[in-house]
Structure 1
Amino acid sequence: MKTILAPIDFSRASNSVLKVAINLAREHNARIVLLHIVQPPVLISEYGAIMTNVQDIVAISERTSAKELDKRQKSVARSAGVPVEVAQATGAPVRSIIEQAKKTKADYIVVGSHGHSALYDLFAGSTASGLIRRAPCPVVVVPPHPTKKTKKR
């Protein structure tokens, strides 16, 4: 059975990613692995107390993420009728997604694009572009959908 890895961040883009992943799974008789990456906050500090708080924040984020993944898994399995598994990792998104793709032997990665500017991507990086360059399998990038419709003149 083929595997579709669908990293989601619970944003609006995640709904579009799920739709594309479901369609691919149906077409290829595949299972979907929903993946969420918890990103620890980046802190530069000499204070150990802050580091303890960061560990608490990460632990809370991991528990919240696990609950949300469980909801999404049940919803997709019920509505789409395709096998769905969940996975969670903590760390850098691109590296974590690639590790999960290798671990699950993913045939495709379906990832959302938030449509940031080129300047944002230059400084902050883009998960989608990092995956395109380094993924061990094809990457399907789901474009952001406009939130407002513009009127034609």
Structure 2
Amino acid sequence: MADDTFRTIVVGSDGSAGAAKAVAWAATLGAQTGCTVVLVHAFEPLAELEHEPGVDFATIRDRRLDEMAEQWAAPLMDAGVAHRTVLIEDRPIEALVDTAREQHADLVVIGSHGRSGWRERVFGSVATGLPGRLDCAVAIVPTDPHA
């Protein structure tokens, strides 16, 4: 059933349990409305390389794209939702804002808790920082913070 309310939904994913809930929620909405879902993962190469010395950017990027396509997008595939995956080398909020604007998103979906590191504790989480930066609706899917 097509619904003109939502044509494009952008959903953030970092591989966390919170992101998985957000993707599942977006998949349900996408199946109900017939919209396209753009699955976004922000990728900060220097942060990744701290944990994996000797691995080049291309290798890490390719691995993340494979994870996104095979695992993180599974609920979208299972629901038969038209989707694409995007990997952006930037901070999560910037990646989501830029993608939402470029795609003329009607809705951005994120989990209430993702992978939090020192940066999120210092500068604030995506869930608190994102809504004021967008011209479209934002859905924050509740997540058990201890999951």
TM-score by length of 2: 0.77
Give yes or no for the alignment of 1:14 onto 2:1.
no
CA distance in 1, matches of 2:37, 2:27: 7
Which one has more relative contact order, counting CA pairs under 8 Å at least 6 apart? 2
Alignment of 1:42-121 (within 5 A): 56-72=55-71, 75-114=74-113
Counterpart of 2:46?
41
Q: Secondary structure at the match of 2:45?
A: coil
Q: Shift of the alpha carbon at 1:115?
A: 7.6
Tell me the number of residue pairs that the alignment of Structure 1 and Structure 2 aligns. Answer: 138
Unaligned runs of 5+ in 1: 43-49, 149-153
Identity across aligned pairs (percent)? 26
Q: Secondary structure at the match of 1:23?
A: helix
Instruction: State which structure, 1 or 2, has the greater radius of gyration over its C-alpha atoms.
Output: 1
Query: What root-mean-square deviation, in Å, do the aligned CA atoms of Structure 1 and Structure 2 show?
Result: 3.1
Give yes or no for the alignment of 1:139 onto 2:141.
no
1:37-56 C-alpha deviation (Å, 9 max, x unpaired): 112336xxxxxxx9xx9895
1:38-90 C-alpha deviation (Å, 9 max, x unpaired): 12336xxxxxxx9xx98955433312111111104763344101111111100
Amino acid aligned to 2:78: S
